[in-house]
Chain A
Amino acid sequence: MSAFNDPFDASTSLTRGCSCGRHHSEADHHRDLAGQTADNEALGNRVVEAAVMRAIFPHDDTRRRFLNAVGAGTAMAAISTFFPLGMAKEAFAQSGKLEKKSLKVGFIPITCATPIIMSQPMGFYARQGLDVEVVKTAGWAVVRDKTINKEYDAAHMLSPMPLAITLGAGANALPYTMPAVENINGQAITLAIKHKDKRDPKSWKGFKFAVPFDYSMHNYLLRYFVAEHGIDPDRDIQIRSVPPPEMVANLRANNIDGFLAPDPVNQRAVYDGVGYIHTLTKDIWAGHPCCAFAASKEFVTTMPNTYRALLKAIMEATAFASKQENRKKIAEAIAPANYLNQPVTVVEQVLTGTFADGLGNVRKEPNRIDFDPFPWHSFAVWILTQMKRWGQIKGDVDYDKVAREVFLATDAAKLMKEVGLKPPATTSKSFKVMGREFDPAKPEAYLAGFAIKRS
């Protein structure tokens, strides 16, 4: 049962029945779409009711049987007598006193930062009583330094960055926390328009590619993708680190042949007629993490209430963004110069997944980008295997320990429960990347299975 469903409805479908997956039928989907300005307070109340019902009836079939037997109205009245639902709803609406009200959060202008950015114009921060200034930043290194300097209270980072910082690879070791993943999927391989006949990766020998940062999912996914096609990413092609804003300019100038980049860079290349979208990363690994919301450990411990409120805002925004029907509104809110500074249509194509591919086709991929905050430990383990595969880290790695220390899955689960999202019961799962099964319990065996590697 999803946290946003009516818990007093016995017939709620447990499988996802509509096009966006949030409603139990297409009819419900449309009803929700019509009343798009769903009252947030009502949603909050619904979340509390759902949480209470879940606590009383941990199994969906028991809940159903109970509701079918007594009816929804009786059930609500019955539960209200021994559990003060009203008080619980109030407690959810207000948390402890905020230690600091005006905060600064840094972001890089890409659609991965959607929850962080949209919370400002769409009032998710304000609802938590926070006055947050979201500050656009030029690059990952500057974001990192400004977070260390405490100019930013929290920031948008690439999910491998906290791992790299913790391991002391490419930065000083510092206690970072990563309580939430921001987006899943949402990246793409874009090639220059002159290569429109070279669709087969085997013909890419000698190409120059750009990725946003060495310690990024983009780098690991591109390397993985070409290596699966028999191309050695270090010997057969060149991969350089180029900040996203400079990528389209470089592609136009023929300095690079393509890139694996975050959006809106890919869609912008299409919009300007410079490149075409070759592969969406969701087709390499469906549901891969990309960017993360990160804060220094000091902020978390010295201002727990502020931190909680901030994270609550982000989680609520993430839940809002995960609904397809809200995406157009979000695109309008984050496209102006103050945020992404892109034409609205470019951002809209990225978020809605109905986009021009640069070759004259309009493609419909509703999962092009999605939002899910849970930081799976197995994601961290996979990232670590790739760091080791390409020689960024050497020697033995205690995969499990590092993953647990950096990806705060238990904290995230606790907070997700607080904002009414339903976290998964485990913190690890196996998944497939380009058809190859990854078992987080056996990282070394996984690593040994690759033909092309540096270690």
Chain B
Amino acid sequence: MNRLSHWRAPLLSLIVLLLLIGIWHALTLPTTSKQTVNAEYAALVGAAAATGQKSTFPTPADFGAKIWQHLKEPFYDRGSNDKGIGIQLGYSVGRVLIGYLLAALMAIPLGFLIGMSPTVYRALDPFIQVLKPISPLAWMPLALFTLKDSSISAIFVIFICSLWPMLINTAFGVASVRREWLNVARTLEVGPLRTAFRVILPAAAPTIMTGMRISIGIAWLVIVAAEMLVGGTGIGYFVWNEWNNLSITNILTAILAIGLVGMLLDLMLARLTRLVTFPE
């Protein structure tokens, strides 16, 4: 009985997947119609246009073949504008990690300060409230203009979008450390630095990690859009380049890859969060 319930959820997932692929397959079944134009004309246009139709959405089989093609050769390099999907994902993850780590280096100490001092909190609050809701891509033209480098601009956009959740969560976590614990520390005459590292940091760690987990999700969402805008390298550029070619199978492959990498990044942060959580 127990073993059966263990398998029930994955089984249901599999059924949903098969059902989706089945519907997709049924909707994209090739319609057989006669060629309506002469052979000379047909040689110049796509297969669908030769039968007087618009080109169609790819079938699951086309998609599978394309994935296999990318899996066989994920790291090819045929010039500066044509690199394998593995290399493109590598560029994107690299940019996200640099921007994200820089944001963490700034957000966590600043969040500590804001959380520990109500005055600083009130002083900085208006700035945070105004800057937080700005779409990170709105910074892009400004970044390109001032930083004068497109790949630094992309990193800056990641930095600015991962900053706020970390900052706010750190401040919140630090501010809501239990009074009793701080009082106990004070009674035992623990120094302020030691209090910060031995009492506040462990107590606020789960909240901080939650902020970091939200941030990495946002950063990964934003990098695709940012790279579509500036181009050059990265998975966002790959999507844009294939859109240019109207290659839906390649775009679907990229979508799948983006989803998988996003999931992996989230899982990593989830593991780290579990490490610092404590039972009360």
Residues of A within 8 A of B (CB): 109, 133-138, 141-142, 145-146, 148-151, 193, 245-246, 248-249, 252, 268, 270-274, 336-339, 341-343, 345, 349, 355-356, 358, 360-362
Contacts and interface: CB of A to CB of B under 8 A. Distances in A.
A137 B231 contact: yes
Contact of A138 (B40, B148, B240): B240
A273 B230 contact: no
CB-based closest 8 A-B pairs: A273-B49, A338-B82, A338-B79, A245-B244, A356-B44, A149-B148, A272-B55, A138-B231
Contacts, number: 110
A12 B138 CA distance: 61
A252 B54 contact: yes
Contacts of B144: 142, 145-146, 149
B80 A109 contact: no
B36 A360 contact: yes
Contact of B52 (A145, A149, A273): A273
B149 to A, nearest CB: 6
Contacts of A274: 54-55
Contacts of A362: 40-41, 44
A361 B44 contact: no
Contacts of B149: 149, 151
A273 B53 contact: yes
Interface of B: 36-38, 40-41, 43-46, 48-49, 52-55, 78-82, 141, 144-145, 148-150, 228-232, 237, 240-246
The dominant DSSP class at the B interface is loop
A360 B41 contact: yes
The dominant DSSP class at the A interface is mixed
Contacts of A136: 81, 231, 241
Contacts of B230: 138, 142
A133 B80 contact: yes
B34 to A, nearest CB: 14
Contact of A246 (B80, B232, B243): B243
B243 A245 contact: yes
A145 B145 contact: yes
B260 to A, nearest CB: 23
B231 A142 contact: yes
B55 A273 contact: yes
Contacts of B52: 273
Contacts of A145: 141, 144-145, 150
A455 B82 CA distance: 47
Contacts of A338: 78-82
25 contacts: A136-B81, A138-B229, A138-B240, A141-B141, A142-B144, A145-B141, A145-B144, A149-B150, A245-B244, A249-B246, A252-B54, A271-B44, A272-B49, A272-B54, A273-B55, A336-B82, A337-B245, A338-B80, A338-B81, A341-B244, A349-B44, A355-B44, A356-B44, A358-B49, A360-B36
A345 B242 CA distance: 17
A141 B54 CA distance: 32
Contacts of A343: 46
A146 B45 contact: no
A135 B49 contact: no
A270 B53 CA distance: 11
B45 A142 contact: no
Given A273-B52, A273-B55, A150 B36 contact: no
Contact of A271 (B46, B78, B81): B46
A298 B264 CA distance: 46
A135 B150 CA distance: 13
Nearest to A145: B144
Q: Which of A137, A349, A360, A361 has the most CB of B within 10 A?
A: A360
A248 B248 CA distance: 13
Contacts of B241: 136, 337, 341
A145 B242 CA distance: 23
Contacts of A193: 54
Contact of B45 (A150, A270, A336): A270
A249 B243 contact: yes
B240 A245 contact: yes
B229 A271 contact: no
Contact of B80 (A135, A151, A252): A135
Nearest to B42: A356
Given A134-B81, A136-B81, 4 more contacts: A136-B231, A146-B144, A148-B148, A338-B81
Contacts of B141: 141, 145
Contacts of B82: 336-338, 341
A57 B149 CA distance: 52
A337 B145 contact: no
Nearest to A360: B37
Contacts of A360: 36-38, 41
Given A142-B231, A151-B149, A268 B246 contact: yes
Contact of A142 (B40, B229, B244): B229
A433 B41 CA distance: 31
Given A245-B243, A273-B54, A356 B45 contact: yes
A141 B82 CA distance: 22
B144 to A, nearest CB: 5
B52 to A, nearest CB: 7
Q: Which of A142, A148, A345 has the most CB of B within 10 A?
A: A142
B78 A336 contact: yes
A134 B53 CA distance: 36
A420 to B, nearest CB: 30
Nearest to A107: B81
B245 A342 contact: yes
Contacts of B245: 337, 341-342
